[in-house]
Amino acid sequence: MIRTIDSKVSVAPQILPEQMPDIAAAGFVAIVNNRPDDEEPGQPSGAEIQAAAEAAGLAYTAIPVTHAGFGHGQLDAMRAALDAADGPVLAYCRSGTRSCNLWALAEAKAGGDSAELVEKAAGAGYDLSGIRPTLDALSGR
């Protein structure tokens, strides 16, 4: 269920603590959790994912995105998590969509080309047309 956006970032729906060794073996160096705790019954807590990630040698960052949407603090935190990683990052949420959107918004804010971001997301199966105006505004292009 992992979808590769580019060489630096992939996204996925909810991951489980027991998957961390396989995620590390696949070459990922960091996990970004974009899912708030208790979003739905039975999901693993961020603390459980963090403990398993760190035990597998993966860096872990929590940047929860709720129904309230995205803010500049979250975009900046995503950019910082990507910049801090010395290899591929796996970001996850319930379906992967919020993680993809957050990646695209953070990239646009850092000056990324909106058309390229939309194309990369489409290649991974995500439609960014709904946030395209925001991507354009953030990128300044």
Beta-carbon count within 10 A of 1 CB: 11
- Report the SS3 class of residue 12: strand
Q: Residue 75 sits in a domain of what CATH number?
A: 3.90.190.10
Domain count, the chain: 1
Helices 114-123, 97-109: axis angle to 10 degrees equals 160
Mean pLDDT for 60-72 is: 92
Give which of 63, 138, 75 is closest to 103, Cα–Cα.
75
**For the segment 104-131, what is each residue's pLDDT rounded down to a tens digit?**
999 999 999 999 999 999 999 999 999 9
d(CA 99, CA 84): 17
Give which of 141, 122, 135, 94 is closest to 6, Cα–Cα.
122
pLDDT class for 141, splitting at 50, 70, 90?
low
**For the segment 25-44, what is each residue's pLDDT rounded down to a tens digit?**
999 999 999 999 999 999 99
d(CA 85, CA 31): 9
* Residue range(s) defining the domain that contains residue 56: 3-139
Within 13 Å of residue 85, how many CA atoms lie on the same side as its CB? 26
- Reported residue count of the chain is 141
Helix and strand numbers (H, E) in the chain are 6, 5
